Amino acid sequence: MAKRVGIISVEDLDFMNDEVALRLKGRDFISLHDFTGEEIFKIFQVARELKELLREGKQCPLLAGKTLGMIFQKPSTRTRVSFEVGIFQLGGYGLFLNASDLQLRRGETIGDTARVLSRYVDGIMIRTFDHKDVEDLAKYATVPVINGLTDRLHPCQALADYFTILEKRGRLEGLKLAYVGDGNNVAHSLLFGAAKVGMNIAIATPEGYEPDSAIVDAARKDAKATGSRIDILHDPVEAVKDADVIYTDVWASMGQEQEHDRRVKALTPYQVNQELVDKAKPDVMVMHCLPAHRGEEITDDVIDGPHSIVFDQAENRMHAQKGLMALLMRD
Q: Hey, which residues are catalytic here?
A: 127, 154, 157, 249, 289, 317
Q: Quick one: which of 48, 39, 307 has its CA closest to 167?
A: 48
3-state class (DSSP) for residue 96: strand
- Reported as type and span, the H/E element at residue 40 is helix 37-55
Q: What is the b/e burial string over 224-240, where b = at least 16 CB atoms within 10 angstroms of the residue's CB?
A: eebebebebeeebeebb
In the sheet where 176-180 sits, what is the strand order? 230-233, 200-204, 176-180, 245-248, 285-288
- Separation between Cα atoms, residue 165 and residue 114, nearest integer Å: 35
77-89 vs 310-328: helix crossing angle, rounded to 10: 50
In the sheet where 123-127 sits, what is the strand order? 93-98, 67-72, 123-127, 145-149
